[in-house]
């Protein structure tokens, strides 16, 4: 889609949260539906229609690419989720390079859900992948120290942890590209790339200010290549990072990756970020939905106050904005109604000019 | 002769290899382990903490310094044990049941170890029973519970309640932390403290504990 399509959605006041998990849990057997492509596709469709959004944002399941990457190890889903490597293992690296022909069950369901949206609805089919850097951090026992050592100029030959980081990062990028291509083949016209670990916990602001290339090497470079894959497949990039960021990082996401939609976490003031993000990039977010489960931590009045503030401040900037969540809105046992009420309240709330 | 200033610098700069090498040199020269710790290594970590608080250092620097401290403590520990020195405290730490995120937990564990605590790290997705068993087996006086997800925060409450039922709650202080956790939530579930970041968690642990018998 051209940029005008998304800019127009913003101008028309579209509001939606990344909320398929909430709708999935309305199902009698969410775990079964999660594994059924058409069933999952219906959940994604219902999520979009309920919010009057033409964008079919999928269920945010950031385990999928890890599950696929670890396929050659024949682990259970739970084992794959918990799997982390503490030391380099060349034999293992070689084994992981041999991706199997098919995808795991959960991944196939995600692809089929995209296909369902593409073939059975008038919604825009959106795929989703974890970002290469964030996937890397899920594969390592101690990613922060390794990235910090790499940022300090330590090479893979000098330090096993940097060797581990470098090898797993390459594997992660391959797995993400494989996932992206499969979703494009299933009909995705846009891809939401979730890179929440690209933040100042993993990437030292001190090192970056001193000129370390860690942000370029581990985050921007791979995501630039991912964007090229999307471009080759005529699909749009939506980029999401709910981590704590430096303004320089936000600027780079906007200018360098130049996504159609940039989604940021609630630690950012979007109206400040509007000054460093190109005008043709729609900013999405960023109500603190992670706190919606608690009326004490986030009463509905505060949700409405923040809704008003965000809409008014963004109007002042003139920057295209879609009101939404800071991340995916998870179903919380015992608090689902509380969360839904707040999501509905922020969507209904009229904000005067 | 071992250059003690370089040990201080190695910890401050997060250089684990140098820190361990200098500690070994110092031992070979019969320097007092306790003096090394108290006059050089702890002040270095205090400076790291100060730099973190004023945002000159960030989590990666904090972690590298904690690793350097741990590396330097490695060769000193047997000597400390032989001399009857006591740890700052004994901590059981883990990410609660249902939650596989361990970065924050690992950071706190590293800083606690660097701060002279004995740490029993149970990993992620830890059931209440495992916490209870570890408290009983280790004689810990602190339990640290971590959670990253709102959906797993209730496991913190479940764990504390299970500890009460098992009769071990009163022998430990319970600290909780993680991105969605708040001071208010900590109070609601009956925790003794809430660490908004790893550095605060270690300070709290120091405040809440007294040395325990080895």
Buried b (16+ CB within 10 A) or exposed e, A29-68: ebeebbbbbebbbbbbbebbeebebebbbbbbbbbbbbbb
Most B-contacting residue of A60, A62, A75, A204 (CB-CB within 10 A), to test interface: A204
| Binary contact (A145, B63; C-beta < 8 A) | yes
pLDDT at B213: 47
The number of CA neighbours under 13 Å toward the Cβ of A224 is: 12
How many Å apart are CA B82 and CA B97, to the nearest integer?
Answer: 37
User: Measured between beta carbons, which residues in chain B are less than 8 angstroms from residue A204?
Assistant: 58-61
Contact A163, A171 (CB under 8 A): no
A81 touches B at CB < 8 Å: yes
Residue of chain A nearest B148, judged by CA positions: A290
Nearest to B67 among A143, A145, A291 (CB): A145
| B90-95: strand order across its sheet | B118-121, B90-95, B142-146, B173-177, B193-194
Count of positions (residues) in chain B: 214
**Coil, helix or strand at residue A146:** helix
**Angstrom distances, CA of residue B106 to CA of A204, A211, B94:** 17, 27, 9
How many Å apart are CA B80 and CA A2, to the nearest integer?
Answer: 68
* Helix, strand, coil percentages in chain B from 3-state DSSP, rounded to 5: 60, 10, 30
Mark the ranges of chain A whose per-residue pLDDT is less than 50. none
Nearest to B184 among A204, A205, A297 (CB): A297
A172 touches B at CB < 8 Å: no
| Binary contact (A330, B59; C-beta < 8 A) | no
Strands (E), chain B: 90-95, 118-121, 142-146, 173-177, 193-194
Shortest Cα–Cα distance, A231 to chain B (Å): 33
How confident is the prediction along chain B (214 residues), in pLDDT tens digits per residue? 678 899 999 999 999 999 999 999 999 998 888 888 888 998 998 899 889 889 999 989 988 998 899 899 888 888 887 777 778 889 999 999 988 888 888 888 888 887 788 899 999 899 999 999 999 999 899 999 999 888 888 899 999 999 999 999 999 999 999 988 888 889 999 999 998 888 888 888 988 875 544 4
Domain with CATH 3.40.50.280 in chain B: 90-208
Domain with CATH 1.10.1240.10 in chain B: 4-82
Q: Quick one: tokens of B41?
A: 């290594």
User: Measured between beta carbons, which residues in chain A are less than 8 angstroms from residue B182?
Assistant: 297
DSSP calls for B113-127:
HHTT-EEEE--SSB-
Average pLDDT taken over every residue of chain B:
88
pLDDT at B128: 95
**Angstrom distances, CA of residue B129 to CA of A30, A208, B141, B159:** 28, 43, 17, 8
pLDDT at A353: 67
Q: Which CATH architecture has domain B4-82?
A: Orthogonal Bundle (1.10)
Residue A128: beta bridge partners? A192
Strands (E), chain A: 55-56, 124-130, 190-194, 236-241, 261-264, 282-287, 321-325
Domains observed in chain A? 14-282 (3.20.20.210)
| Binary contact (B184, A296; C-beta < 8 A) | yes
| Binary contact (B103, A201; C-beta < 8 A) | yes
CA dihedral over A57, A59, A65, A66, signed as positive or negative: positive
Residue of chain B nearest A82, judged by CA positions: B100
Shortest Cα–Cα distance, A172 to chain B (Å): 18
| Binary contact (A148, B67; C-beta < 8 A) | no
Q: Single out the residue of B200, B132, B134 nearest to residue B167, CA to CA.
A: B132
A133 touches B at CB < 8 Å: no
Number of cross-chain residue pairs from A and B with Cβ atoms under 8 Å apart: 67
Residue of chain B nearest A138, judged by CA positions: B101
| Binary contact (B59, A200; C-beta < 8 A) | yes
**Pairing outcome for strands B90-95 and B193-194:** unpaired
pLDDT at B157: 94
Shortest Cα–Cα distance, A310 to chain B (Å): 22
Interface of B with A (CB under 8 A): 14, 56-61, 63-64, 67, 100, 103, 106-107, 124-125, 149-151, 154, 179-180, 182, 184-185, 188
Residue B193: beta bridge partners? B175
Count of positions (residues) in chain A: 353
| Binary contact (B63, A148; C-beta < 8 A) | yes
User: Measured between beta carbons, which residues in chain A are less than 8 angstroms from residue B63?
Assistant: 144-145, 148
Measured in Å, how far apart are chain B's first and last C-alpha atoms?
32
| Binary contact (B103, A143; C-beta < 8 A) | yes
Q: The whole model's pTM is what?
A: 0.88
Q: Does domain B90-208 have CATH number 1.10.10.10?
A: no
pLDDT 10s digits, A274-319: 999 999 999 999 999 988 988 888 899 999 999 999 999 999 999 9
């Amino acid at each position: 889609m051209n940029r005008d399509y998304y800019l127009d959605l913003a101008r028309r006041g579209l509001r939606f949260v990344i909320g398929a998990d909430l709708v999935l849990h309305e199902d009698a057997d969410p775990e079964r539906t999660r594994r059924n492509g058409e069933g999952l596709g219906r959940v994604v469709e219902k999520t979009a229609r309920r919010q009057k959004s033409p964008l079919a944002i999928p269920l945010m399941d950031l385990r999928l690419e890890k599950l696929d990457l670890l396929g050659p190890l024949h682990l259970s889903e739970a084992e794959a989720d918990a799997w982390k490597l503490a030391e380099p293992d060349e034999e293992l690296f070689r084994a992981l390079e041999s991706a199997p022909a098919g995808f795991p069950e959960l991944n196939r369901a995600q692809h089929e859900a995209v296909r369902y949206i593409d073939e059975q609805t008038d919604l825009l089919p959106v795929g989703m992948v974890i970002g290469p850097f964030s996937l890397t951090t899920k594969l390592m026992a101690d990613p922060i120290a390794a990235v910090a050592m790499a940022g300090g100029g330590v090479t893979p030959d000098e330090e096993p942890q940097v060797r581990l980081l470098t090898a797993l990062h390459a594997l992660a990028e391959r797995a993400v590209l494989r996932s992206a291509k499969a979703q494009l083949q299933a009909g995705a016209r846009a891809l939401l790339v979730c890179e929440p670990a690209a933040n100042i916990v993993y990437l030292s602001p001190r090192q970056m200010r001193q000129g370390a290339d860690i942000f370029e090497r581990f985050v921007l470079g791979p995501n630039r290549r991912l964007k090229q894959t999307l471009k080759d497949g005529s699909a749009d990039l939506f980029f999401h990072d709910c981590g704590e960021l430096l303004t320089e990082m936000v600027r780079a996401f906007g200018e360098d990756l130049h996504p159609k939609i940039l989604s940021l976490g609630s630690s950012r003031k979007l109206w400040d970020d509007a000054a460093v993000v190109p005008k043709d990039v729609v900013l999405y977010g960023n109500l603190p939905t992670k706190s919606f489960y608690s009326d004490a931590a986030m009463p509905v009045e505060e949700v409405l106050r923040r809704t008003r503030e965000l809409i008014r401040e963004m109007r002042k900037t003139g920057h295209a904005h879609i009101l939404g969540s800071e991340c995916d809105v998870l179903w919380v046992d015992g608090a689902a109604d509380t969360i839904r009420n707040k999501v509905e309240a922020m969507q209904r709330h009229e904000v005067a000019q | 002769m071992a250059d003690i200033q370089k040990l201080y610098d190695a910890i401050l700069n997060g250089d684990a290899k140098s820190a361990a090498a200098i500690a070994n040199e110092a031992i070979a020269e019969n320097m007092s382990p306790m003096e090394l710790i108290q006059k050089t290594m702890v002040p270095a970590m205090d400076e790291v903490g100060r730099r973190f608080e004023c945002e000159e250092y960030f989590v990666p620097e904090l972690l590298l310094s904690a690793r350097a401290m741990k590396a330097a403590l490695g060769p000193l520990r047997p000597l400390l044990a032989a001399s009857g020195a006591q740890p700052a405290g004994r901590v059981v730490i883990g990410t609660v049941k249902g939650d596989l995120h361990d970065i924050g937990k690992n950071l706190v564990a590293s800083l606690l170890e660097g701060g002279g605590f004995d740490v029993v790290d149970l990993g992620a997705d830890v059931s209440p029973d495992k916490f209870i068993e570890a408290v009983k087996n280790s004689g810990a006086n602190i339990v640290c519970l971590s959670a990253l997800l709102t959906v797993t925060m209730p496991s913190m409450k479940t764990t504390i309640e299970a500890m009460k039922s098992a009769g071990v709650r009163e022998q430990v202080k319970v600290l909780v932390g993680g991105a969605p956790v708040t001071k208010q939530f900590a109070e609601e579930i009956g925790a003794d403290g809430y660490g908004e970041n790893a550095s605060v968690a270690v300070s709290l642990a120091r405040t809440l504990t007294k040395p325990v018998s080895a």
